[in-house]
Structure 1
Amino acid sequence: MDARETAPSPERNKQPILEVLARVLPPRGLVLEIGSGTGQHVAHFARALPAL
């Protein structure tokens, strides 16, 4: 990725957010992500939670 496709803040907070999501979301299902900005969060979450 180049600088146009990333932002520093999602890189810093994606893992702490994922830890919360893993606790509160069901193990399987569908998730609709809205307002993804650069998409860095959703890409990280999708790799870590493939059943969602």
Structure 2
Amino acid sequence: MSLLTIILNILIPPVSVLLKHGLGAKFLVNLILTLIFWLPGCIHAFYVTQE
């Protein structure tokens, strides 16, 4: 995992998921989680970008 990915996972999680996997279900789930509350979106971004 690069430093840029880690920074994006913390600051704007949907962007890091978008860059890694493109528009799709993972991006939409992360966007919804981030809009509900930032922390679940951040955790999901780390989980998804680690794959």
TM (norm. structure 1) is 0.31
TM (norm. structure 2) is 0.32
Structure exhibiting the larger radius of gyration computed from Cα positions: 1
Q: Quick one: higher RCO (CA 8 Å, sep 6+), 1 or 2? A: 1
